Amino acid sequence: MSAPAYRTFLGQRVWPGSFLKVYYPFFFSGAFAFFLFSFAHTKMMDNPTNKWMNIVKDVSDATGKQKLRNDATKWYEEQLAKEASAGHAAGAAASH
């Protein structure tokens, strides 16, 4: 048995032809899209408003404010307890 007279690749018949002639539009459009998306990403990340850092800063500020609120609440409860133990009217009213 002799080899077939035509080319084969993975058992399939193939014809000699230019690969680039058929696929060059896809190569160009893929490269164009890659660089366009890369450019857009860079421009959005260099945004002067810096949205993401502002979000982190807001959360950090809110955490600091919450700590102050907790300290103030604790202080107020301690003052009420002192007044109640001393028998003041405000403390007595608050404890009833």
Residue 76 one-letter amino acid: Y
Backbone region of residue 87 per phi and psi (left: phi > 0; alpha: psi in -120 to 50; beta: other values): left
Q: Which two tokens stand for residue 48?
A: 């002067």
Residue 2 lies in a domain: no
The total number of structural domains in the chain stands at 1
Report the alpha-carbon distance of residue 56 to residue 49 in Å, rounded. 13
Q: Give per-residue pLDDT as tens, 11-41.
A: 888 877 888 888 999 999 999 999 999 999 9
Task: Report yes or no on 1 lying in a domain.
Answer: no
Domain that holds residue 35: 7-95
Model confidence over 29-88: pLDDT tens digits? 999 999 999 999 988 887 777 777 888 888 888 888 899 999 999 999 999 999 888 877
pTM of the model: 0.38
Note whether 49 and 60 are within 8 A (CB).
Answer: no
Tokens of 28: 């160009």
